[in-house]
Structure 1
């Protein structure tokens, strides 16, 4: 039985996904924060599922620590705010995969069972990118370059800070 550590601050999602993964044969240890997961002492962990946004904070900085702490075969980042910039950054820091919420259980299981790497590309992944998606990606990249500082990002993008905040309040166009 594989042991899976799930770190997500959404209690409903955490409980629902835990039950589903347990039915699939995983031993799930669910935590609301990286600090709570850090306190876990027990058998080796095979997989870490990490929510990108824990409260108002990004968990990108915790990826390297979690890889050192648990040494999992896989560290999968889950997020409701997917962007190319955060995907690249998560992978650079040691994530093995990055999935956008809501994630289908079948898709998650495919990744966890390592079938996703051998699957052929779907027609969805080969679709054209819309202008709204390109803008979102550019904003996310510039925001990441400025460590999340809205004022500096707005200045770099040549737009008013309130305009940028409105665009960020809208969820990803994906």
Structure 2
């Protein structure tokens, strides 16, 4: 467990930057190319993650611990006290993945969510008959390039239609 009063402001700039770099590299190693998906997984705001990765002095113990816990689900050597160790000059854990297939699954999950959201937006906009087939083809090509099959394209299309129907029922 990290020190209860851990604040990045209590450490020199060089130590904070070192921690931020380690967190950013670890985030990317587990498959989160963008901060938004990792911030969501960690249960923090994007701005908090940006502050941590940029070495800003405004990051408190809760954000640090949540980020370390999220990384510990994917990487050996990370736990709630890892950040404090890095700030104190200790070693940065390697990017030894607990599940080597995790980065690919995360990337596919993110692509799936984007496709569902994109297709739902088209349906909700009322431009479906003109735009939907083109959007669906766009996502079909992306899914096939990523190694998914036609059935996955149909499932995400069905999910988008169901989400749009729920949106209609709620309004």
Say yes or no: TM over 0.5.
no
Please identify which structure carries the higher strand content.
1
- The alignment's TM-score, normalised by the length of structure 2, stands at 0.32
Please identify which structure carries the higher helix content.
2
Larger RCO, structure (CA 8 Å, separation 6 or more): 2
- The alignment's TM-score, normalised by the length of structure 1, stands at 0.32
Please identify the structure whose Cα radius of gyration is greater. 2
